[in-house]
Structure 1
């Protein structure tokens, strides 16, 4: 992943944001050490942003599309009240095994409900409302995830969509690949949706924040 924000500024922002818990730090360090694509992990600064959004909307139910090794699920679980729940979806058993191991160690792990299988199928069978929906999975389905997320979203909830700057490749015309084209299509669809308010925040690789009007 390209550094869209200089590393020293990123570190400064992390230092002046909500701190990373010990269990998340251990998970992040293991992910960086052992996983093939550790950059898929959201990291401390974006994790703090996810926690802030969860607290701002007073969330009790969170839906996460794309779990990886479980870092962001732990972020949400730590920010939720005692009776809160995180439903998190993934298809990769290797990364899910790491996530489950850390969920078992974490005091908040009991709040996390792991659903394995294609996320669109899982979303089809879920019943809303969810207060926060975080989308960070296969990019070619982003628009499909967004459309279903709108159906599942609580009236005062937020959808958070990761990687919407895609290493800066969203500026390229024509798009260099299918994933870039899908993210560009999502960004256009959200910007042109009269039923929502949205802001694209330049944290890490870009986070799109969406709420219903």
Structure 2
């Protein structure tokens, strides 16, 4: 499976991860001198793909042609996995329906410090579609930044819908509020400045348990388990919780990486695998997302 992400206006190809018995193999893709133009205007750039495993296999590709790898164990059906090159990701972006207001927010955010925190357009499109499929009216977002994903969700909510948007950085939240106003969705967004844990706890204390349909988490990684437990109490049975960055730039698949954030995401991913309160699907969109359906 593959994933892609836009970081601050630059296009970075994805990481490719697959599992075979007793071995985890991850392909890391990097640009040499990135040259990215938003949405269908990218120029292909040289890239290198390396595969780290117990056999230290390495594959290189110096063109924009797709690299296809097959899981080597027959138990996985020799499934072929495609690596998203600049050309393929360019094609993908041309098939993202991005409203003008979202494009303008993306372009402004690209000039800001920390712009790598903004979700990719294809990721925001998926979140909005999940909200529509679910028929969600009450949503929560933990970690707003400048509001790209929350604006995408607010745009598809019914006029009577509400999105509680939790963000601790007031400067970025002010940018988000500006775009909510410009998009005409301010009445659907309840922007909460402060620590998300405090906001979620206060919502529970106000008797809002099991009253939300959808939640999206893209905030402090070491707090994921705590956010998840609180959201499980706030989201109704049949509701959906989406967790971002579960692949964490491929670090979770690299046994040599053991920093605290990576370890906390690994631990969270393992806990979700054993959590029978939810059905789960980890997908390689953006930096990896896990979609949890509350039973």
Q: Smaller-chain TM-score range? A: over 0.9
Higher relative contact order (CA 8 A, sep 6+): 1
CA distance, structure 2, for counterparts of residue 110 and residue 26 of structure 1: 21
**Counterpart check, 1:64 vs 2:122:** no
Aligned residues: 211
Question: Which aligned pairs between 1:123-138 and structure 2 lie closer than 5 A?
Answer: 123-126=200-203, 127-128=208-209, 129-138=211-220
Larger Rg, first or second structure (1 or 2): 2
* Aligned residue in 1 for 2:57: none
User: Is structure 2 residue 32 aligned with structure 1 residue 32?
Assistant: no
2:249 maps to 1:167? yes
Cα deviation per residue 1:88-136 (whole Å; 9 max; x = unaligned)? 0011111112111111211223211100111011000112321111000
Distance 1:96 1:26 in 2: 16
For residues 85-100 of structure 1, the aligned pairs below 5 Å read: 85-100=162-177
Q: Is the Cα–Cα contact under 8 Å of residues 143 and 166 in structure 2 kept in the other structure?
A: yes
Aligned 1:112-151 pairs, distance under 5 A: 112-126=189-203, 127-128=208-209, 129-151=211-233
1:3 Cα offset (Å): 2.8
Return the alpha-carbon distance in structure 1 between the equivalents of residues 177 and 217 of structure 2.
20
d(CA) in 2 for partners of 1:28, 1:109: 18
Inter-partner Cα distance in structure 2 for 1:27 and 1:21: 10
Q: Partners of 2:100 and 2:186 in 1: how far apart?
A: 14
Aligned residues of 1:63 and 1:88 also touching (Cα < 8 A):
yes
1:183 and 2:265 matched: yes
* RMSD of aligned alpha carbons: 1.3
Measure the CA separation in 2 of the matches of 1:62 and 1:7: 34
- The TM-score with structure 2 as length reference comes to 0.69
Q: Secondary structure at the match of 1:176?
A: coil
- The alignment status of 1:11 with 2:93, answered yes or no, reads no
**C-alpha displacement of 1:174:** 5.1
Would you tell me which structure has more helix in proportion to its own residues? 1
How far has the Cα of 1:172 moved from its partner?
A: 2.0
1:61–1:84 Cα contact (<8 Å) kept:
yes
Greater strand fraction, Structure 1 or Structure 2: 2
* Whole-angstrom CA distance in 2 between matches of 1:11 and 1:108: 30
| Cα distance between partner residues in 2 of 1:99 and 1:195 | 33
Question: Per-residue deviation at 1:16?
Answer: 2.4
Deviation of the 1:176 alpha carbon? 2.8
Alpha-carbon contact 2:102-2:148 (below 8 Å) kept: yes
Structure 1 residue runs without a partner (length 5+): none
Question: CA shift at 1:45, angstroms?
Answer: 0.4
User: Is the Cα contact below 8 Å between 1:74 and 1:109 reproduced in 2?
Assistant: no
